[in-house]
Structure 1
Amino acid sequence: MDAWVWWLIAAVGLGIPLVLTAMPEFGMFAVGAVAGAIVAALGGGIVAQVLVFVVVSVALVSVVRVVAARHRGDGPQFSSGIDALRGRRAVVLERVDGGGGGRVKLAGEIWSARALDETQSFEPGQQVDVVEIDGATAVVM
């Protein structure tokens, strides 16, 4: 059997774990094996075939890792749950002070609230900023 056929068999063999495990590295090695098959079909020696396989595989893995690392941290960061409420504005419905017991309207819902600074108090109608959510209580300032 010709060497290029062995390279194609290797490419298919590397493609199977790619499909089963979803590890893209196997796909890149399979592309390297196809490159080795092309070199073999063009009459290149075994050293050239292996060298092309290694260079193409390593180049693909390197490029994809750099691109993946760049995109991993990018993109919009969406907050949900109580994390989405931090930094929002609320309207005081019942007097809010450091001891708690007050109420605010936050994101269309009524929340119990307390002031971040225990010496501060907020009267009904005032707008406040939500600093954090402590259990079911909005901490405001």
Structure 2
Amino acid sequence: MWEWVQQNIWTLWLVAAGGLAVSEMLTLDMTLLMLAGGALAGAGVAVFFPALVWVQIVVAAVVAVALLGFLRPQVLKRLHRGPGYRSTFQQLLGGVGRTTGEVTASGGEVTVNGETWTARSYDGDAIPDGVEVDVIEVDDLTVVVQPRDKPLRRGEA
């Protein structure tokens, strides 16, 4: 049994690489794809040196770390500069949410796109619990909101 595994260990590396590549579709942060590249390198070594499992593991680890350290940052930088890319904060701007408690000029909480955010009122007026609000701006990790049914005063935002 062990002899068969040693002769066909490259298939295990390929299955691992495929599983990691497919799993990348769930995360979309390019980490699992880089690990899949390392597993693919391990498969390549396994084809030529099937008995040297430790060499396969070392090569897979070195390639995965190199891809994570050098290629992943460059790929992410290009993706983030691409047309149509909006960060989480940019997606919040103009979004619609609902207060989960009273929101005042000094604080409160709202839910936007299913996520809870610290919030404060745009004009300083208190906004009661359960009111639908628009996100006017994002200030660090705090969203600045205004009730949807309350118009902005001229010259604001």
Structure (1 or 2) with the larger CA radius of gyration: 1
Q: Which has the higher strand share?
A: 1
Q: TM-score range by the shorter chain?
A: 0.3 to 0.5
